[in-house]
Amino acid sequence: MDTMNRRNFLKLTTAATAAAASFSAGTAFAKDAAHVVVIGGGVGGATFAKYMKMYSPETKVTIVEKNKEYQRPYGSSEVVVGRLDMKDITISYDALKNKHGVNFVFDTVTGVDYDTREVKTAGGTTLKYDRLLVSPGVSFDYSQIPGMDSPEAQSKIVHGWDAGDQLLTLQKQLEAVPVDGTVVLIPPPNPYRCPPGPYERSGLIAQWFINRGDKNAKVIILDPKNGFTVDVTMLQAWNRLYEFNLPESFKGYTAEERATFKKYDKPGKIQWIPAAEGGRVVKIDADNKTVECEAGVFKADMINLIPPLKAGKIALDMGLADKSGWCPVDQKTFESTIHPNVHVIGDACIAGQMPKSGYAANSQAKVAALQIKALLAGQEPIEPAYQNTCYALAGRDDYGMFVADFFRLKNGVITRDEFARYLPFNASDAQYRLSAVYLHAWMNSFTQDIFS
Amino acid sequence: MNYSLTGILGAALGLAFLSQTAVAETANDLAQSPRSAMLAQTCAGCHGTQGYLQNSAFMPLAGMPTTQFVTAMKSFANGSRPSTVMGPLAKAFSEDEIKAMAAYFAQFPKNEAQ
Amino acid sequence: MKKITLAFLLSLGSASLAAAAEQNAQDIVHWTPTTWAEAQRDMPKGNAAAGEKLHSTLFCASCHGAKGESTTNNWPSLTGQSVAYTYKQLLDYKNHVRNEDDRSHLMVVVAQMLSKQDMADLAAFYADQPKPCPNGLPKPAPSLVTVGDPKRLITPCAACHGANGQGGVNETTALRGMPRDYFIRTMNMFREGHRNNDTFKGMSQFAKPLTDQEIAMLADYYACTEQSSLAPQAKR
């Protein structure tokens, strides 16, 4: 008995001394400090790195990212309509490096050895990890859309759904649309990044035409779906702002609510053709700018196609995705169910009922940081909590809306708490205006929570 | 671990060990529990990391007295305080969860400029 | 509901808010004692019942409390403010004279929806409410309140804001029961020049020499902490 206690005592004392040493060492890492390697410096990867260092300063965190600066996709449709410049959506990694002590390797990942836990980059760097976190964003799948298979077609019709120069291409294409012209916008099928985004962009473009003085220019949305996040708030707004006629097939309103909609004699500045009314696109002719959908053929002056999405290419190459094109994970820790010690967060992972959004990636990153801290210490992961808030504009800069959800893990699946998630149908003018103010305030706050 | 063993080891090992086994749930423990951080960090996307605002349109949460936090969340949840986004979100949390978040934010010094 | 929709549609016809928000700094017309005197003569007679309705439809209660009695440390109490004070602040928001930061921008946005009659109605409603801190301010009052500091040319607070912090003549703010953090923030804003909508440039001047400690002490005094439901638990 005496010996036992003494042994335990020694063991624990050693542990305590080691802990004290690593604290006093400050930012200089103890020899056996855990190393977490992060692939991708977007919303998920950057948030994770910052919070991991905050929760566990002794852990070494290295982000491998190909770009020296980040361009945020959230809110980037405002670049298309010229409300923001590229520099407004470009963010520095300096604070993560200098303030939070995150290491950066600006390079592309070329290999991973899951047995020896090593990541290799094109520049020849080898990084050994205790845990690997992959936050690769999305890639785009044109294979299902006849006419869009060639690089040439894809250079003429761009998505602008991952920031970058495509936003400027869209901006130029929009400016080139003749007076009273037509833009066809094609949202992707579920699941996809930023659920309200394609509709917000449609509204922004309709408003851009109005500001230009066009009376008859229009945006036609050809949709493979029959509804979308914030649809009930968005469609009501369009009816008020853009002479939008509500499709007969739309099921989101009560009869009483539907009766408050104005009916316009001709198609308005925004038309939405859902799948139920033939919105599914069957073929695109990029040269002649025509789109054939089940309802007929549309001639456009500009086409913005957001094709079906999959997990980011690196996740596909690393064998982290399943047949769906997305990455299955233990939704409590975001650890891959395919490769242990590897976590996948953000748009690329399958996260139950959570949407693929910036806020969701940010929330998942914080959950992953706490869980990986526990796992590295040999402890059980704790009960997780997740949130998503997406703001969107109807088009005009002073008409905002949102979706707000809280999620819990139920039977291993991230499940939305069933509460009202939108502004009420009879929301007041003040609520729409304040939501628009909060949208812009959020862009700022959110960016700082990730990168500052 | 039973009480007497905790006592013996605690006496032998001192504070480093005690902090891990303390049973009494003090405000400090609640503030520093990973579960409190887990819940509270979901707010940071709007209210800033640890509740330090980056845009003053939002309510600063760092250093907010716990009573104010709890009252606000309850009144958002029951609708007595009108809101845009907070009503739907506040409904999601249990009383204990609200207290945990309140303790988390209260532990940080307030930024008087906010 | 019908009325709200109608008001909504009418407001959509008004000038774009975005355009208004981009108003240039040089277009902002600050008050002179003469123009403010004219504005007060021009103020419509307020109807408190109409103000109460606006308080609800415009969402004021979300930040300022069910009747304008602030329930937070951060947003100002509107109850007990004089009609002139509330009316002037709303005018100042609408005209961008008061727009010191992102928080006040929320009010700039809301104020675009208001007519002068609306502003007078809201002002009448808040002036009608029971005043905060019903048992009066703590005693004794700090000397900055009663005698000021002549060496630094600081007029006593009470000279304009009243011996009981009830607000004085014209548009002077009632400070009694003003939430502590809002008080500190506001004084910082005046001290640093971000807020400068004071007609007689009194606050802009008096705030400058005050130290952080003095501001915090005054904030505690006017917040009536013991009577406030927001008091930190330790002080109860």
Helix (H, G, I), strand (E, B) or coil at B26: coil
- Measured between CA atoms, the residue of chain B closest to residue C235 is B65
Q: Which strands form A296-299's sheet, in the order they lie side by side?
A: A281-285, A290-293, A296-299
Cα A357 versus chain centre, distance: 3
Report the share of chain C in percent with pLDDT over 70.
83
Q: Which domain holds residue C208?
A: 143-235
Per-residue pLDDT of A130-148, as tens digits, reads 999 999 999 999 998 999 9
Could you tell me the CA-to-CA distances from A425 to A111, A236, A237, A257, A258 in Å, in that order?
A: 51, 8, 10, 8, 11
Token digits for B97?
A: 């969860």
Residue C53 in domain = yes
Scan residues 90-109 of A and list those with Cβ closer than 8 Å to C. none
CB A243 within 8 A of CB A264: yes
pLDDT value of position C28: 86
List chain C residues with pLDDT less than 50: 1-22, 231-236
Nearest C-alpha neighbor of A268 from the set A240, A299, A301, A229: A240
B2 vs C: CB within 8 A: no
CA–CA separation, C225 and C227 (whole Å): 5
> In this complex, which chains have at least 3 CB pairs below 8 Å with chain A?
B, C
A72 vs B: CB within 8 A: no
Per-residue pLDDT of A159-204, as tens digits, reads 999 999 999 999 999 999 999 999 999 999 999 999 999 999 999 9
CA–CA separation, C222 and C236 (whole Å): 17
Token digits for A168?
A: 């400027």
Nearest C-alpha neighbor of A392 from the set A432, A346, A347, A348: A432
∠ at Cα A311 (A309, A317), nearest 5°?
A: 130
**C85 half-sphere exposure, CB direction, 13 A CA radius:** 21
Could you tell me the CA-to-CA distances from C84 to A131, C41, C54, C120 in Å, in that order?
A: 63, 11, 18, 9
Given a cut of 90, is residue A124 above it in pLDDT? yes
Token digits for B75?
A: 């009144």
> In this complex, which chains have at least 3 CB pairs below 8 Å with chain C?
A, B
Q: What does the mean pLDDT of chain B come to? A: 81
Contact C66 B65 (CB under 8 A): no
| B85 neighbourhood in chain A, CB within 8 Å | 389, 402, 404, 435, 438
Contact B57 C233 (CB under 8 A): no
Give Dmax over CA atoms of chain C in angstroms. Answer: 60
Token digits for A243?
A: 């002479």
Contact C18 A398 (CB under 8 A): yes
CA–CA separation, A398 and C12 (whole Å): 10
Residue C9 in domain = no
pLDDT value of position A8: 31
| B83 neighbourhood in chain C, CB within 8 Å | 62
Residue C88 in domain = yes
Token digits for A344?
A: 């996948």
Residue C2 in domain = no
A95 vs B: CB within 8 A: no
pLDDT value of position C26: 61
H, E, C per residue of A306-347: CCCEEECHHHHHCCCCCCCCCEEEECCCCEECCCCCEEECHH
CB pairs under 8 A between B and C: 56
Token digits for A281?
A: 């696109």
Instruction: Count up the domains in chain C and report the number.
Output: 2
Q: How far is A445 from chain B (nearest CA, A)?
A: 5
Given a cut of 50, is residue B17 above it in pLDDT? no
| C212 neighbourhood in chain B, CB within 8 Å | 112
Q: How far is C166 from chain A (nearest CA, A)?
A: 30
Mutate to test the interface with C, among B52, B53, B68, B75 (most CBs of C within 10 A): B68
pLDDT value of position A5: 33
CA–CA separation, A423 and C8 (whole Å): 15
CA–CA separation, A60 and A219 (whole Å): 49
| Whether residues C125 and C150 fall in one domain | no
pLDDT value of position C120: 98
Q: How far is C15 from chain A (nearest CA, A)?
A: 11
CA–CA separation, A268 and A227 (whole Å): 19
Look at the alpha carbons of A224, A226, A229, A232 in this order and tell me if their dihedral is positive or negative.
positive
Q: C61: which residues sit within 8 A by CB, 6+ positions away?
A: B81, B82, C55, C67, C68
Contact C110 A434 (CB under 8 A): yes
Could you tell me the CA-to-CA distances from C91 to A200, C21, C94, C95, C197 in Å, in that order?
A: 33, 15, 5, 6, 11
pLDDT band at residue A32, thresholds of 50, 70 and 90? Answer: confident
| Whether residues C160 and C116 fall in one domain | no
Q: Residue B71 is nearest to which of C71, C188, C231, comparing CB atoms? A: C71
Nearest C-alpha neighbor of A375 from the set A11, A34, A80: A34
Q: Which range, of A409-418, B70-79, C164-173, C183-192, averages the lowest pLDDT?
A: C164-173
Q: How far is A182 from chain C (nearest CA, A)?
A: 24
C62 vs B: CB within 8 A: yes
A259 vs C: CB within 8 A: no
Nearest C-alpha neighbor of C137 from the set C224, C214, C229: C224
CB pairs under 8 A between A and C: 46
pLDDT value of position B54: 85
Q: Residue C17 is nearest to which of A260, A398, A428, comparing CB atoms? A: A398
The residue assigned the tokens 């109490």 is C77
Q: How far is C58 from chain A (nearest CA, A)?
A: 5
CA–CA separation, C62 and C178 (whole Å): 17
Look at the alpha carbons of C175, C176, C178, C179 in this order and tell me if their dihedral is positive or negative.
positive
Residue C118 in domain = yes
| B64 neighbourhood in chain C, CB within 8 Å | 73
The residue assigned the tokens 């761009």 is A158
Token digits for A41?
A: 């410096």
Q: C12: which residues sit within 8 A by CB, 6+ positions away?
A: A240, A241
Residue A156 carries which DSSP code?
A: H
Domain spans, chain A:
1-29, 33-139+310-383, 142-307
CATH no. for residue C67?
A: 1.10.760.10
Phi first, then psi, for residue C54 (nearest 5°) are: -60, -40
CA–CA separation, C161 and A172 (whole Å): 58
Could you tell me the CA-to-CA distances from A429 to A86, A434, C110, C212, C216 in Å, in that order?
A: 31, 9, 9, 39, 37
The residue assigned the tokens 């005197």 is C37
Cα C83 versus chain centre, distance: 11
Q: Which range, of A220-224, A318-322, A334-338, B29-33, averages the lowest pLDDT?
A: B29-33
For residue A327, the cross-strand partners are: A349
Helix (H, G, I), strand (E, B) or coil at A372: helix
CA–CA separation, A162 and A178 (whole Å): 27
A423 vs B: CB within 8 A: yes
pLDDT mean over A257-279 = 97
CATH number given to A33-139+310-383: 3.50.50.60
The DSSP secondary structure of A5-68, one letter per residue, reads HHHHHHHHHHHHHHHHHHHHTTTSPPTT--EEEEE--SHHHHHHHHHHHHH-TTSEEEEEES-S
CB C113 within 8 A of CB C137: no
Domain spans, chain B:
1-25, 33-106
CA–CA separation, A369 and A34 (whole Å): 13
Q: B70: which residues sit within 8 A by CB, 6+ positions away?
A: B98, B99, B102
Q: How far is B108 from chain A (nearest CA, A)?
A: 14
Contact C18 A396 (CB under 8 A): yes
Q: Residue C1 is nearest to which of A240, A426, A437, comparing CB atoms? A: A426
For residue A416, the cross-strand partners are: A407
Residue C3 in domain = no
B4 vs C: CB within 8 A: no
Q: C172: which residues sit within 8 A by CB, 6+ positions away?
A: C82, C85, C160, C161, C162
CA–CA separation, B112 and B104 (whole Å): 18
| C115 neighbourhood in chain A, CB within 8 Å | none
Given a cut of 90, is residue B84 above it in pLDDT? no
pLDDT mean over A212-219 = 96
Q: How far is B65 from chain A (nearest CA, A)?
A: 22
∠ at Cα B40 (A23, B66), nearest 5°?
A: 100
CA–CA separation, A157 and B108 (whole Å): 50
| C110 neighbourhood in chain A, CB within 8 Å | 430, 433-434
- Is B33-106 CATH 1.10.1040.10? no
| Whether residues C109 and C161 fall in one domain | no
For residue A404, the cross-strand partners are: A389
CA–CA separation, A188 and A307 (whole Å): 5
| B17 neighbourhood in chain A, CB within 8 Å | 12, 16
Q: Residue B67 is nearest to which of C102, C212, C233, comparing CB atoms? A: C233
CA–CA separation, C47 and A47 (whole Å): 51
pLDDT band at residue A274, thresholds of 50, 70 and 90? Answer: very high
| Whether residues C147 and C225 fall in one domain | yes
| Whether residues C164 and C227 fall in one domain | yes
Q: How far is C116 from chain A (nearest CA, A)?
A: 17
Mutate to test the interface with B, among C54, C55, C71 (most CBs of B within 10 A): C71
B110 vs C: CB within 8 A: yes
Q: Which helix (H) or strand (E) holds A416?
A: strand A413-416
pLDDT value of position A42: 98
Token digits for C77?
A: 């109490």
Q: Residue B88 is nearest to which of A363, A370, A404, comparing CB atoms? A: A404
B107 vs C: CB within 8 A: no
CA–CA separation, C86 and C94 (whole Å): 12
CB A239 within 8 A of CB A425: no
- Is A142-307 CATH 3.30.565.10? no
Q: What does the mean pLDDT of chain A come to? A: 92
